[in-house]
Amino acid sequence: MKKLIQNGKIVLENEVIQGDLLIDGEIIAAIGQHIDPEGCQIIDASGMIVLPGGIDVHTHFNIDVGVRSVDDFSTGTIAAVFGGTTAIVDHMGFGPKGCNLHHQFGVYKGYTNGKCVADYGLHGVFQEINEDILKETEVMLADGISSFKMYLTYDYKLDDADALKVLEKLKTIGALTTVHCENDAVIHYLREKLVSEGKTEAKYHPVSRPPYCEAEAVDRMIALSKAAGQAPLYIVHVSTGEGAALIRQARSEGAVVFGETCPQYLVLDDSRYEDPKEGLKYILSPPIRSREHQESIWKGLKDGSLQVVATDHCSFDYHGDKQNGKDDFTKCPNGAPGVETRMPIVFSEGVSKGRLTLNEFAAVTSTNPAKLFGMYPKKGVLSVGSDADIVLMDPDMDVTITKSILHENVDYTPYEGLSVKGWPVMTIIRGQTVVENERLQVPLGFGRFIRRKPVDYRELLSI
Ligand code: URP
Ligand code: ZN
Ligand code: ZN
């Protein structure tokens, strides 16, 4: 049966209209005023905002970093859909030394098959660079993996020559190089120094990864992207004003560079590290910064220096593996949850507080990620012919975020006690109602793998 969403405030790509949206099967069939309701199931959207389903392009479900993150693809995507996110793209974790790109793809097929309730894609991950690995990116792309991550820190960090090789190669095939930008050598030096001085409490975590570590690495990657002939470059989880400013400057000079930030850098600040116990909840990298950086990141989102808000959802129990860091922050697994709270937090802090328009909100939470990661216009936009991935947001609903109302499989939320105005009340994926009346309406395995396509990134310079 067709579904008709009636009388909602519908957020289209470049305007907002009051009207109706018709769903036929999996697809949006019409958008307009007074669409004929004959034979349709009616969804009354009076007072609601009708948005393209959220797309979170940075999660780490079921990742093994020595200990395993506690949200797998079932609980992670369930939390996602309750939070108004209809698709995720997960960063595959590292595999055994020497493995090829398809090794982890195979492992993640096992993690995802029959598990997801949201649609999902996967980013490839580089551990080492050689001719075979570079060639294999072509096969991965044909398999629907249109983006790859390289780390400049952690065990399988790439050096600058390898980073340049990746940028050159992915440019030729229309895939996106995504990078975790932090200066590994400086972090190692600072960590060792702090530990040798007995400075092992949570508050030293941000001291060990200062803003210049991010800025230096962002600057270096931008230089390499230019050296590779303006190779497309996407900087994940930008946390500093300097990082955002470098991206802004590079883009103004024609560089094909894009930036992502996350809710933790928009609404939390480094005072969270002061309590030596609670501070463990916020051990994630890059660390949470000062309020000045927070303001600069909002500015970067508003002025288009940063195009995406994702989450970097990587959850470890506070009363579980996070306690590995209780006597030494360097032993604490890095990461925090957020996949369920991204849409309401960015809506509330962005739209409800007047920092972002509805169109800007939809752009940074859905449309831009869809464009950058090869899913647009099938996903990321309310448009005739697109997948009917839709969220109804109640803009007047006041909610205080607390662990007990969330579906994430982790024993805390970093946003405990945060009051938000605006909450997703219905989630639809490919025409199927997935969350309604606070209940999950689909079985595990409903979510489909998204075969993502190559992109002409020059055409995206204006997003
Ligand atoms: O602390 C974090 N962000 N952990 C997840 C891995 C990463 O760096 O993205
Ligand atoms: Zn990272
Ligand atoms: Zn991450």
How far apart CA 83 and CA 438 sit, in angstroms, is 11
In the block, residue with structure tokens 């209780």? 326
Q: Write the DSSP string, 303-366.
A: TTS--EE---B----TTTGGGGGSS-GGGSPP-B--TTTHHHHHIIIIIITTSS-HHHHHIIII
| Whether the CB of 60 sits within 6 Å of ligand 1 | yes
Q: Where are the alpha helices (DSSP H) in 150-286?
A: 160-173, 184-196, 204-208, 211-227, 241-252, 263-267
CA distances from 431 to 47, 53, 147, 189 (A): 21, 11, 27, 52
Instruction: For residue 126, give the H/E element and its range.
Output: none
What is the 285 CA–ligand 1 centroid distance (Å)?
Answer: 5
Of 31, 36, 28, 27, whose CA–CA distance to 19 is shortest?
31
Mean pLDDT of 90-107: 98
How far apart CA 201 and CA 394 sit, in angstroms, is 41
**Whole-number pLDDT of residue 374:** 98
In the block, residue with structure tokens 């398999």? 143
Tens digits of residue pLDDT in 148-203:
999 999 999 999 999 999 999 999 999 999 999 999 999 999 999 999 999 999 99
Tens digits of residue pLDDT in 228-240:
999 999 999 999 9
**Whole-number pLDDT of residue 225:** 98
Query: DSSP class of residue 189?
Result: H
Q: Which atom belonging to ligand 1 lies closest to the Cα atom of 151?
A: 8
- Could you tell me what percent of the chain has a pLDDT over 90? 99
| Whether the CB of 375 sits within 6 Å of ligand 1 | no
Report the nearest-CA residue for atom 4 of ligand 1. 335
Of 288, 167, 287, whose CA–CA distance to 229 is shortest?
167
How far apart CA 272 and CA 461 sit, in angstroms, is 36
Q: Which atom belonging to ligand 1 lies closest to the Cα atom of 236?
A: 9
Mean pLDDT of 113-129: 98
Mean pLDDT of 260-268: 99
What is the 91 CA–ligand 3 centroid distance (Å)?
Answer: 7
| Whether the CB of 335 sits within 6 Å of ligand 1 | yes
**Whole-number pLDDT of residue 24:** 98
| Whether the CB of 149 sits within 6 Å of ligand 1 | no
| Whether the CB of 337 sits within 6 Å of ligand 1 | no
What is the 314 CA–ligand 2 centroid distance (Å)?
Answer: 10
| Whether the CB of 180 sits within 6 Å of ligand 1 | yes
Residue whose CB lies within 8 A of the most ligand 1 atoms, among 261, 262, 314, for a mutation test: 314
98: how many CB neighbours lie within 10 A of its CB? Answer: 9
What is the 59 CA–ligand 3 centroid distance (Å)?
Answer: 6
Do 261 and 297 contact (CB within 8 A), yes or no? Answer: yes
1: how many CB neighbours lie within 10 A of its CB? Answer: 10
| Whether the CB of 334 sits within 6 Å of ligand 1 | yes
Which of 357-361, 366-370, 403-407, 459-463 is predicted least confidently?
A: 459-463
**Whole-number pLDDT of residue 299:** 98
What's the token pair of residue 198?
Answer: 């007995």
Model confidence at 221, pLDDT cuts 50, 70, 90, reads: very high
Residue 128 sits at φ, ψ, to 5 deg, of -155, 160
| Whether the CB of 378 sits within 6 Å of ligand 1 | no
Task: Label the pairing between strands 147-151 and 119-125.
Answer: parallel
CA distances from 161 to 94, 99, 169 (A): 20, 20, 12
Q: Which atom belonging to ligand 1 lies closest to the Cα atom of 60?
A: 5
Mean pLDDT of 427-454: 98
Q: What's the whole-number average pLDDT of the chain?
A: 98
CA distances from 354 to 119, 194, 233, 239, 347 (A): 31, 41, 30, 22, 10
What's the token pair of residue 422?
Answer: 């605006």
Do 358 and 346 contact (CB within 8 A), yes or no? Answer: no
Q: Which atom belonging to ligand 1 lies closest to the Cα atom of 237?
A: 9
Residue whose CB lies within 8 A of the most ligand 1 atoms, among 60, 214, 280, for a mutation test: 60
| Whether the CB of 284 sits within 6 Å of ligand 1 | yes
What is the 95 CA–ligand 2 centroid distance (Å)?
Answer: 16
Ligand in nearest proximity to the CA of 235? 2
Ligand in nearest proximity to the CA of 336? 1
What is the 180 CA–ligand 2 centroid distance (Å)?
Answer: 5
Do 315 and 337 contact (CB within 8 A), yes or no? Answer: yes
Tens digits of residue pLDDT in 323-381:
999 999 999 999 999 999 999 999 999 999 999 999 999 999 999 999 999 999 999 99
| Whether the CB of 209 sits within 6 Å of ligand 1 | no
Report the nearest-CA residue for atom 9 of ligand 1. 312
Instruction: For residue 5, give the H/E element and its range.
Output: strand 2-11
Ligand in nearest proximity to the CA of 123? 3
What is the 316 CA–ligand 3 centroid distance (Å)?
Answer: 13
Mean pLDDT of 399-428: 98
Model confidence at 137, pLDDT cuts 50, 70, 90, reads: very high
Do 107 and 99 contact (CB within 8 A), yes or no? Answer: no
**Whole-number pLDDT of residue 79:** 99
Q: What is the CA radius of gyration of the chain?
A: 21
How far apart CA 260 and CA 346 sit, in angstroms, is 13
Mean pLDDT of 91-104: 98
